[in-house]
Amino acid sequence: MVRSEKDRRVLTDRRQKPTKPFSRYILFGRRRFVRRKTDQKTHIYVDLYGHYLFLFLLLIILLSIFDAYFTIFHIEKGAREINPFMNFLIGYGNIHFFIIKYVLTVLSLILLCIYKNLLIARTTIIAIFFFYLTVFANHIYLILLR
């Protein structure tokens, strides 16, 4: 506890315990990034996430939805799914395929968002974005070929 001569409030030092990935501060916190140089070398969770990260994750989700839609479209036209797991899911029906693909994508992105301060998480988010962008361009190319 820290007491100040001028201030009679009793304050506890928040830095005694690290911020948890899911805490009450997600809604009301103010920490957006790591400020101290010494803390930048370790992983620290933040309370708020940036607008660019939100936009990137939203674009990835949108591209994933387009990928699922175009995959179903191409399969109905006679193509086949290359990914064995997704091919297995398509066997259960289009709705099951779409829902499971969406849920897996969103859960993975939530995990990457929580660990956004790690270099591997940031690199993975960018790689996933460009992967889905390439897949989307491939779907458009296949549609234009028909």
Write the DSSP symbol of residue 38.
T
Write the DSSP symbol of residue 79.
-
pLDDT at residue 72, rounded to an integer: 94
pLDDT at residue 50, rounded to an integer: 74
**What pLDDT digit, counting tens, does each position of 80-111 carry?**
889 999 999 999 999 999 999 999 999 999 88
Q: Is 74 in the same domain as 114?
A: yes
Q: Is 57 in the same domain as 44?
A: no
Q: Is 36 in the same domain as 56?
A: no
Task: Report the number of distinct structural domains present in the chain.
Answer: 2
Tell me the pLDDT band of 122, cut-offs 50, 70 and 90: confident
Whether 136 is covered by a domain: the verdict is yes
Question: How is the chain split among helix, strand and coil, in percent rounded to 5?
Answer: 60, 5, 35
Spatial neighbors of 115 by CB under 8 A, at least 6 apart, are 43, 121
Q: Is 68 in the same domain as 24?
A: no
Angle at CA of residue 103, ends 127 and 77, nearest 5°: 80
Q: Is 29 in the same domain as 88?
A: no
Model's pTM, two decimal places? 0.70
pLDDT at residue 11, rounded to an integer: 63
**What pLDDT digit, counting tens, does each position of 17-52 carry?**
555 555 555 555 555 455 555 555 555 555 556 778
Q: Quote the domain boundaries for residue 37.
A: 13-48
pLDDT at residue 63, rounded to an integer: 97
Distance CA 128, CA 123 (A): 9
Q: Is 105 in the same domain as 126?
A: yes
- Phi/psi of residue 2, each to 5°? -115, 130
